[in-house]
Structure 1
Amino acid sequence: MHKPQSQSQPQRRSPMRATPSLRGADLPLLLSLNVLLEECSVTRAAARLHVSQPALSAQLSRLRQLFGDPLLVPAESGRGLAPSPFALKLHRRLQPALAGLNAAVRFDADDFDPASAVRTFHIVANNTGAAVILPGLARRLLALSNKGLRLTLSAPDGADLAGRLEKGEVDLCFGTACLLPSGLSSRELTTTPYVMVQRAGHPRGAAPVGLEEYCALDHVNVARDSSLHGFMDEQLYRLGHSRHTALAVRDFSAVAATVAHSDLVCTVPAFIAPYDHAGVEVVELGFPFLTYTLCMAWHPNSDGDPGLQWLRAQMQDVMAGSPRAWTPA
């Protein structure tokens, strides 16, 4: 018969992490912790938080003391840092809590007045999107006479665009639907056919260009990386044809001047064709071809942002009333 366990004998318990005691001064550290765990780099996190690296390192030390965990440890690959197992669990619980705080301080639509607001909107657009949206949007911003409302426009750089949209580093992005990141809210702004730009008085005449004649011409390709091979070449390949590209330029601003003084031709979406340039003429493609659809996209987290609601509405109005969105009959 077993003797009963003595009451004086301590019972063995599994180790438990001490519950941190958060003070009011510690709450801002949670914002820093969220960014640190997203970036896994003190340098990048400090840049996002607009603080010095020593200051953020001090915050990380306080966080490690507060939670009794290293939080960020050397990565197994030997390069950079990685979240500890505890930090991964903490990060999953921290994100919805911060999202709730953001929702709690979100302004109502009436709180954004474009005539007096102080804000800088950040837009990412490809060459086509920039050429179409920027003129009309710039006119609308200037008409407000509000020096505090500003806009930056940059090209897609291949980085984590969806992540930048989620973090609020980018407000809107513009491009073709097939090239936009998944998981975003989007809206089609306009669809237009492709047309060919040639110099006025080109030897071939001004009639619509057929497929065989098109492939026999010397072309200018527009690509941000100045590639001689582009979207048009891929489509022609699917049709069993190819063309000769003699020149590549980075954006559409150089097309009219280049074509006006040579027999080169360039294919562009109709809504950015230089119809008003005296030295060139625009002709239709006389063979079936794909159309170009310009889309606007944003992160679902910004659906309720009144400033971005206003900006998205401006973009729709710009495209609805712009002659550049005209589609030839």
Structure 2
Amino acid sequence: MDIKRADLPLLISLDILLEEKNVTKAAQRLNISQPALSTQLARLRVLFEDPLLVPAEVGRGMVLTERALNLQHKLRASINELKFAVNFKSSFDPLTSRRKFTIATNDSVFTILGLPVLKKVLSFNNPGLQISFVSVFGVNVKEDLEKGHIDLYIGDINKMPDSLKVRYLMKDSFIMAQKKRHARGTKKPTLNEYCQLSHVIVSAKGDLSSSIDHLLSEQSQTRNIVASVPSYNQIALVLTNSDCVATLPKQLLEKYQDTLDLIELPFSIPPFELGMAWHVKSQEDEAMVWLRQQFTQAKF
């Protein structure tokens, strides 16, 4: 038999025919007309090169041929497996499930949002439940989500690709940080004083300017950037060992208030909004629904 020439409804009809051994009763169960089912049976006989069912010598029913008898139980088992696969909806239990999640974000977002989720995952003490945070640098968000290289992307909600599912997570503002007992004191600087300070910024590429410098240029101001580091969480180390200052997300810098003073800026920077994005294919995945809930419920 050439299986490519048989469609699924034809095989389902055969399954019922083999069970009922009667075209009229099988047609009633399949909710089709008797002539239509007789036409299907004729096709099946050609496909299997076997009569499959022949008139009974006694009564009005039919008898299965040897080929049909050998086929019946295997066909029923295959159809049941297919029904199970179609109707199966996997459940997710973080205490027992084996699943690895991969989230792309930067280390600032990890510190603010990712760390509470990581702590929650670790609290289940389930070695089969794993979570990886990877750098967004070099990640093609849309493509990597589609291919399953990453499960979730967290970043600026206004820069999410249009084709992805997106949910708002939080808003944050910017603030200046310096080491405690800095020689300049803790008063709010004027704009000129701010620009004259030695600034360190974050840049994965080693750039010595950022969007903040674009804002300052609109006010005909230029700040004194003396260094850049690739990681947000390296900033605290630099500040505590120098007289540099940094302007970064407030909720990130609040994690380091034991060693840093946070000071209001002398100019306005628009707040930014963080969101998470995922591919539509994982919209109903129970494990992914659970993961997204951890971020929406995170206490940061």
2:193 to 207, 213, 217: 213
Residue equivalent to 1:267: 247
> Aligned partner of 1:107: which letter?
K
> 1:122 aligned to 2:102?
yes
Residue equivalent to 1:35: none
Residue equivalent to 1:9: none
Q: Measure how far apart 1:209 and its partner are.
A: 3.0
Q: Measure how far apart 1:283 and its partner are.
A: 0.8
1:235 to 211, 215, 225: 215
2:130 to 131, 150, 154: 150
Question: 1 CA distance for matches of 2:5 and 2:188?
Answer: 73
> 1:185 aligned to 2:185?
no
- Secondary structure in structure 2 of the residue aligned to 1:295: strand
Residue equivalent to 1:306: 286
> Aligned partner of 1:200: which letter?
K
Q: Measure how far apart 1:208 and its partner are.
A: 2.6
Question: 2 CA distance for matches of 1:282 and 1:116?
Answer: 43
Aligned residues: 222
- Secondary structure in structure 1 of the residue aligned to 2:181: coil
> Aligned partner of 2:292: which letter?
R
Q: Measure how far apart 1:164 and its partner are.
A: 1.6
Question: 1 CA distance for matches of 2:138 and 2:130?
Answer: 25
Q: 1:311 to 1:159 in 2, by over 3 A?
A: closer
Which deviates more, 214-223 or 131-140?
131-140
Give TM-score, length-normalised by structure 1: 0.62
Question: 1 CA distance for matches of 2:256 and 2:146?
Answer: 40
Q: 1:251 to 1:123 in 2, by over 3 A?
A: same
Question: 1 CA distance for matches of 2:119 and 2:240?
Answer: 28
Which deviates more, 214-223 or 232-241?
232-241
Q: Measure how far apart 1:23 and its partner are.
A: 9.6
Q: Measure how far apart 1:240 and its partner are.
A: 2.7
Residue equivalent to 2:205: 225
Determine if contact 1:129/1:174 at 8 Å carries over to the other structure.
yes
Q: 1:230 to 1:105 in 2, by over 3 A?
A: farther
Q: Measure how far apart 1:178 and its partner are.
A: 3.1
Give TM-score, length-normalised by structure 2: 0.68
What RMSD, in angstroms, separates the aligned Cα atoms of the two structures?
2.4
- Secondary structure in structure 1 of the residue aligned to 2:173: strand
User: Percent identical across equivalent pairs?
Assistant: 28
- Secondary structure in structure 2 of the residue aligned to 1:273: helix
Unaligned 5+ runs, structure 2:
7-82
Unaligned 5+ runs, structure 1:
1-19, 25-100, 323-329
> 1:141 aligned to 2:121?
yes
> Aligned partner of 1:249: which letter?
V
Determine if contact 1:218/1:264 at 8 Å carries over to the other structure.
yes
Task: Provide Cα deviations, 1:193-215, integer angstroms capped at 9, x if missing partner.
Answer: 10111111223321233322211
Q: 1:174 to 1:105 in 2, by over 3 A?
A: farther
Listed as ranges, the matches of 1:286-297 within 5 Å are: 286-297=266-277
> Aligned partner of 1:192: which letter?
D
Determine if contact 2:194/2:266 at 8 Å carries over to the other structure.
no
> 1:251 aligned to 2:231?
yes
- Secondary structure in structure 2 of the residue aligned to 1:245: strand
> 1:173 aligned to 2:153?
yes
